Amino acid sequence: MDEILNYISILGAFAFAISGALTAMNNKFDPFGVLIIAFVTAVGGGTMRDILVEGKPVFWLYEPAYIYFIVAGTVFAIVFRAKLNLMLKPLFFFDTVGLALYTVIGVQVGLAYDLNYINCIILGTLTGAFGGVIRDILVNEVPVIFKKEIYATVSILGGALYLFIDRFWWSHPAMQFIPILFIIVLRLLIVHYKVAFPTLYKGDKPKA
């Protein structure tokens, strides 16, 4: 179980590193800036999670494999940028994969530290979404999580599904891939059909 979770977490770091690198390159950052944005995208959510959970060390400080895969994801994005741009919205795809993988890891950490289910879901959402928030802020964009696009809600639903499976269904490690696929497919459908929350402000912009 722990080994599978570790693989999922590292794969999430790789996917988020690609997402961060693509965002940085689209904003014309230099190579060092691309690496920094990739790094904070990959570790931002998990770092905040580990700081909040008492007694848990920050994961990437003690597991150098994450650093290697973040660098690998950054190099992959730089080398294959032209081919990635031929794919359907590669930034969106890798961001969605990272969201799904890290959500499950965050929920699992909450369970491992005997937190209640609500806090497990919060940890899952924080782990999945906060790296993207830092990324968008650093490139001077409004974070996706604060827009009308349904983003964090998908993470919350995926985290709840994971807890349901863990509590009432099978405990086999393979079952954790169900909420991962659920998050990926749900977000793809939401974007494809342009489902979004309504904005609260409908009038003209207020005068300064």
pLDDT digits (tens, 9 = 90+) for 27-69: 999 999 999 999 999 999 999 999 999 999 999 999 999 999 9
- Cα separation values, 163 from 10, 53, 78, Å: 21, 18, 37
8 — pLDDT class (breaks 50, 70, 90): confident
Residue 206: partners with Cβ closer than 8 Å, 6 or more residues away: none
In a domain, 86, yes or no: yes
- pLDDT of 170 above 70: no
In a domain, 203, yes or no: no
Task: For residues 155 and 101, give the distance between their C-alpha atoms in angstroms, rounded to a whole number.
Answer: 10
Task: For residues 130 and 121, give the distance between their C-alpha atoms in angstroms, rounded to a whole number.
Answer: 14
83 — pLDDT class (breaks 50, 70, 90): confident
The share of the chain scoring above pLDDT 70, in percent, equals 90
In a domain, 177, yes or no: yes
Task: For residues 23 and 60, give the distance between their C-alpha atoms in angstroms, rounded to a whole number.
Answer: 22
In a domain, 156, yes or no: yes
In a domain, 168, yes or no: yes
Residue range of the domain that includes 144: 2-192
What pLDDT sits at residue 87? Answer: 61
Enter the pTM of the model.
0.89
Report angle CA 73, 126, 158 to the nearest 5 degrees: 90
4 — pLDDT class (breaks 50, 70, 90): confident
DSSP 46: H
In a domain, 204, yes or no: no
In a domain, 208, yes or no: no
Average pLDDT, the chain: 89
Q: What is the mean pLDDT of residues 179-183?
A: 96
- pLDDT of 208 above 60: no
What pLDDT sits at residue 139? Answer: 96
What pLDDT sits at residue 171? Answer: 63
Least confident range of 19-23, 137-141, 144-148: 144-148
First to last CA, the chain: 56
Do the Cβ atoms of 91 and 26 come closer than 8 Å? yes
Least confident range of 99-103, 129-133, 139-143, 168-172: 168-172
In a domain, 121, yes or no: yes
Best CA proximity match to 24, nearest among 101, 81, 66, 67: 81
Tokens of 130: 């906060």
In the chain, how many domains are there?
A: 1
Sign of CA dihedral 194, 200, 202, 208: negative
What pLDDT sits at residue 202? Answer: 61
**Helices first, then strands: H and E counts in the chain:** 9, 0
What pLDDT sits at residue 155? Answer: 96
